[in-house]
């Protein structure tokens, strides 16, 4: 029987993702995307943009005006709005909202993504209709050791803590072989 030997450690501080430029594995760590293959380097904070909007009553004709402009790199103090009713243009100080331009897949495929750039994780595969995924290779190794451990070892405090974070299908002993096959596929990826 295999023994579980690891002490607990924090492995979720970086993610292996699919590079949006070359589609090879890239790293996301502390909001920085770096690809060792195509040298893409991006900071998630650089992708913050601002949306400015105005919702007022026009001082000329009294009708309601709603206008929004987006794509600002810094929040604008004033924007020029033309009333759609009387065509008068006025400068307003707008309400501001920030948003992050994220990469998105053509459709939502149900794939697991990183929290900064929304890029699909590199280490994910389907196991019996479930998405099995790991943040990075160390995380994959941890899950593998957990899945291969026997029930008695699973009651150890560290493994119990880890268990709380795992989806039920990974913990289900009858899925063990399929999960190990999935892990082997990902190890070769």
Residue 35 makes contact with Zn ion by CB under 5 A: yes
Alpha-carbon span 141 to 170, nearest angstrom: 14
**List 27, 32, 56, 58, residue binding Zn ion (CB under 5 A):** 58
Closest C-alpha among 167, 177, 146 to residue 2: 146
- Of the two residues 26 and 162, which places its CB atom closer to Zn ion in the complex? 26
Residue 22 makes contact with Zn ion by CB under 5 A: yes
Angle between helix axes 176-188 and 137-148 (nearest 10 degrees) is 150
Q: What is residue 107's DSSP assignment?
A: S
Residue 167: CA count within 13 A, CB half-sphere: 11
Query: Binding string, 68-87, against Zn ion, x = CB under 5 A?
Result: ---------------x-xx-
* Number of residues in contact with Zn ion under rule CB under 5 A: 13
Closest C-alpha among 117, 108, 91 to residue 30: 117
Alpha-carbon span 43 to 74, nearest angstrom: 16
**List 2, 13, 29, 37, residue binding Zn ion (CB under 5 A):** 37
Q: What is the footprint of Zn ion within residues 135-154 (CB under 5 A)?
A: none
**List 46, 55, 60, 128, residue binding Zn ion (CB under 5 A):** 60
Chain residues binding Zn ion by CB under 5 A are 19, 21-22, 35, 37-38, 40, 58, 60-61, 83, 85-86
């Amino acid at each position: 029987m295999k023994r579980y030997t690891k002490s607990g450690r924090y492995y979720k501080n970086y993610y292996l993702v699919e590079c949006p430029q070359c589609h090879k594995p890239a790293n996301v760590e502390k909001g920085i995307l770096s690809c060792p293959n195509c040298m893409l380097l991006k900071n998630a904070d650089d992708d913050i943009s601002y949306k400015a909007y105005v919702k007022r009553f026009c001082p000329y004709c009294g009708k309601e005006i709603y206008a929004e402009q987006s794509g600002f790199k810094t929040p604008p103090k004033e924007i020029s709005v033309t009333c759609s009713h009387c065509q008068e243009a006025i400068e307003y100080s707008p309400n501001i909202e920030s948003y992050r331009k994220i990469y998105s897949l053509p459709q939502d495929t149900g794939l697991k993504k990183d929290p900064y750039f929304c890029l699909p994780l590199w280490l994910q595969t389907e196991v019996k209709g479930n998405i099995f995924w790991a943040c990075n290779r160390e995380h994959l190794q941890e899950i593998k050791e957990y899945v291969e451990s026997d029930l008695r070892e699973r009651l150890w405090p560290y493994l119990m803590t880890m268990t709380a974070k795992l989806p039920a299908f990974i913990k289900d002993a009858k899925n063990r072989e399929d999960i190990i096959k999935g892990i082997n596929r990902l190890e070769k990826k």
